[in-house]
Amino acid sequence: MSLMSTQSKSLFLTDVHAQLKRRYKPKPDRSAGRLSVLEAVVYGICHEDTTREQANQALSRFKDQFFDWNEVRVSPIAEVQETLADIPDPQGRAERIRRFLRQLFSKTYGFSLEPLTKKPLKEALKALHAYEAFSSDYVTATVIQQALGGHAIPIDSATRRALERLGISDSDLPSLRSILERAVPKNRGVEFLELLEELAHDTCVAPDPDCPRCELRKICAYALALKQEAQQTAQANQSAAKAAAEAKKPAKKIAKEAAKERPNAAPAPASAPPPTAKKPPAKQPPPAPKSPPGKRGTGK
Q: How far apart are CA 201 and CA 203, in angstroms?
A: 6
- Confidence at residue 157, expressed as pLDDT on a 0 to 100 scale: 95
| 275 vs 108: which has the higher pLDDT | 108
- Confidence at residue 244, expressed as pLDDT on a 0 to 100 scale: 80
Q: Which amino acid belongs to residue 115?
A: P
- Confidence at residue 135, expressed as pLDDT on a 0 to 100 scale: 96
Instruction: Return the H-helix or E-strand segment holding 225.
Output: helix 221-248
176 in Cβ contact with 66 (< 8 Å) = no
Torsion of CA 33, 37, 40, 45, to 10 degrees: -170
CA 75 to chain centre: 44
Least confident of 37-41, 47-51, 112-116, 228-232: 228-232
**Per residue in 206-236, is it b (16+ CB within 10 Å) or e — as a string?**
eeebebeebbbbeebebbeebeeeeeeeeee
What's the helix, strand, coil split of the chain in %, to 5?
60, 0, 40
Q: How far apart are CA 289 and CA 300, in angstroms?
A: 33
Under the banding of pLDDT at 50, 70 and 90, the label for residue 242 is confident
Contacts of 40 (CB under 8 A, 6+ apart): 142, 143, 146, 147
Task: List, for residues 50-103, the tens digit of each pLDDT value.
Answer: 999 999 999 999 999 999 999 999 999 999 999 998 999 999 999 999 999 999
221 in Cβ contact with 212 (< 8 Å) = no
Contacts of 287 (CB under 8 A, 6+ apart): none
| 27 vs 295: which has the higher pLDDT | 27
- Confidence at residue 4, expressed as pLDDT on a 0 to 100 scale: 62
Task: List, for residues 149-177, the tens digit of each pLDDT value.
Answer: 999 999 999 999 999 999 999 989 999 99
- Confidence at residue 143, expressed as pLDDT on a 0 to 100 scale: 98
Under the banding of pLDDT at 50, 70 and 90, the label for residue 234 is confident
Listing DSSP states for 97-127 in one string gives: HHHHHHHHHHHHSSS--GGGGGS-HHHHHHH
Q: How far apart are CA 74 and CA 60, in angstroms?
A: 19
Q: How far apart are CA 167 and CA 163, in angstroms?
A: 6
141 in Cβ contact with 133 (< 8 Å) = no
Tell me the average pLDDT of the chain: 86
- Confidence at residue 297, expressed as pLDDT on a 0 to 100 scale: 46
118 in Cβ contact with 133 (< 8 Å) = no
Q: How far apart are CA 133 and CA 147, in angstroms?
A: 15
Q: Which amino acid belongs to residue 138?
A: Y
- Confidence at residue 282, expressed as pLDDT on a 0 to 100 scale: 57
Contacts of 218 (CB under 8 A, 6+ apart): 224
Task: List, for residues 197-219, the tens digit of each pLDDT value.
Answer: 999 999 999 999 999 999 999 99
Under the banding of pLDDT at 50, 70 and 90, the label for residue 1 is very low
**Measured CA distances, 199 to 97, 145, 154 (Å):** 28, 20, 15
